[in-house]
Structure 1
Amino acid sequence: MYLVVLPITILLVLAALKLDDIVQLPIWALIGLWGTLVPAVVTVALRYAKATVLMARLEKEGLL
């Protein structure tokens, strides 16, 4: 699942840097924003990737 987590992490870091340049929010707001956004994005990406892998495996075995 590193193939999913690594690109998501890179995109989130780049988004955080760009948002900080544009908006310049206080630190407490950034901690709140990224503290909730990062786990949500990573969780959704991993669930989608695992579902895709499971669907491909089931189709390969002819169960779907």
Structure 2
Amino acid sequence: MFLLALAAFTAFEWIMLAKNLGSGPRRATAFYVIHYILAAANVVFAVILARIGWGAWKKAS
């Protein structure tokens, strides 16, 4: 359950960050590129955590 909760939190956090990047002050393009790459990588990380957590939960049941 911990891994599933962590995956949900990570995905939510980084998706909201990526969504809100455009609402702040204007910054250099590199800033946006780096943060979108970080957001994408962390969402992939969240999917991996969710798959591991789901597999462990099903195995324990």
Task: Using structure 1 for the length normalisation, give the TM-score.
Answer: 0.56
Report sequence identity in percent: 14
Q: Greater Rg, structure 1 or structure 2?
A: 1
CA deviation profile, 1:26-55 (whole Å, cap 9, x unmatched): 1x1133212311111101111111110110
Aligned residues: 51
Task: Using structure 2 for the length normalisation, give the TM-score.
Answer: 0.58
Q: Which has the higher contact order (CA 8 A, sep 6+)?
A: 2
- Runs of 4+, deviation exceeding 6 Å: none
CA RMSD of aligned residues (A): 2.4
Name structure 2 gaps, 5 residues minimum.
1-7
Name structure 1 gaps, 5 residues minimum.
none
